[in-house]
Amino acid sequence: MTLTDLANPTKFLALTARLLPWLVGATILLFLIGLYQSATAPDDYQQGATVKIMFIHVPNAWLSMFVWAVMSAAALGTLVWRHPLADVAAKAAAPIGAAFTFLALLTGSLWGRPMWGTYWEWDARLTSVLILFLMYLGLMALWRAVEDPSRAARAAAVLTLVGAINLPIIKFSVDWWNTLHQPASVFRMGGPTLDHAFLIPLLVMALAFTLLFVTLHLAAMRNEILRRRVRSLQMMQASQKAA
């Protein structure tokens, strides 16, 4: 089934209906494995048991950027190829990405409290994720500000791509700013080389969260297609009544 076949919303809905049960099952399975492995992982030499927070924090931080990449690909689909499902894919992904970003911030803050003594620290990584979160919220606001769905999609596509270009710049500048104003306490977040005992649960949880995103994204795309169908039928109904 090629991408052009999938451009037909009805075919896409049929595909989604077939795929979703499998995706849900696979996601649940991976989470069960991942959670078990996280629970049984050893304590870190420096951080003790709080290293377990990393198994939630890192996948969510990774996904917050991955979802923006997915939206950027969808944005290209909207602007360059006018693929009809690109609009739907972009709009459906934004709230999910925002939720993962929020979780990354929250768990990062909870991980930081034992390490730094405060709930918030203007650490380079947390600060860039905070800016990313603001960009997600701005994008969601833009989606809701324009009434016509295809115009909203094109405006959102431009903002998504501009954001994608800016993200490396923002990360670089925040990192640079942070090293200039290095806080008094020096800490290690996980460290450059991760022991197998921590790496395996981390990868499994990352995979689980990614599958969760794919599942939620497909379901949200299905909802968005239905919402557009409702909108066009309502407009048809209004014009039929007027006639």
Partner 1 sequence: MSALGALIQRDIRIALRVGGGALIGVLFFLTVVVLMPFAVGPDLKLLARLGPAILWLGALLSSLLTLDRLFMADHEDGSLDLIAMARTPLELACAAKALAHWLASGLPLIIATPVLGLLLNLDVPATSAVAMTLLAGTPALTFTGMIGAALAVTLHRGGLLLAVLVLPLSIPVLIFGVAASEAAITGPHSFGAPFAILCALSLVSLVVGPFAAAVSLRHGLD
Partner 2 sequence: MSLGSYASFILASYLAAALVVAILIGWIALDYRIQKRHLRELEESGVIRRSGRSATEIK
Q: Is 79 one of the binding residues for partner 1 (CB under 8 A)? A: yes
Among 32, 134, 226, 236, binds partner 1 (CB under 8 A): 134
Query: Which of partner 1, partner 2, none lies near 243, with the C-beta cut-off 5 to 8 A by kind?
Result: none
Q: Which long-range contacts (CB under 8 A, 24 or more apart) does 178-184 make?
A: 178/122, 178/123, 178/124, 178/127, 179/124, 181/122, 183/121, 183/122, 183/123
Least distance from C-beta 91 to partner 2, angstroms? 12
The closest of 92, 89, 61 to 73, measured between CA atoms, is 89
Amino acid symbol at 198: F
With contact defined as beta carbons under 8 Å apart, do 156 and 144 qualify? no
The pair phi, psi for residue 17, each rounded to 5°, is -60, -35
Q: Is 80 one of the binding residues for partner 1 (CB under 8 A)? A: no
Least distance from C-beta 2 to partner 2, angstroms? 20
Least distance from C-beta 174 to partner 1, angstroms? 7
Measured distance CA(163)–CA(156) in Å, rounded: 10
Cβ nearer to partner 2, comparing 14 with 158? 14
Query: Which of partner 1, partner 2, none lies near 180, with the C-beta cut-off 5 to 8 A by kind?
Result: partner 1
Measured distance CA(198)–CA(103) in Å, rounded: 20
Q: Which positions touch partner 1 (CB under 8 A)?
A: 79, 131, 134-135, 137-138, 141-142, 145-146, 151, 154-155, 158-159, 161-163, 165-166, 169-170, 172-174, 176-177, 180
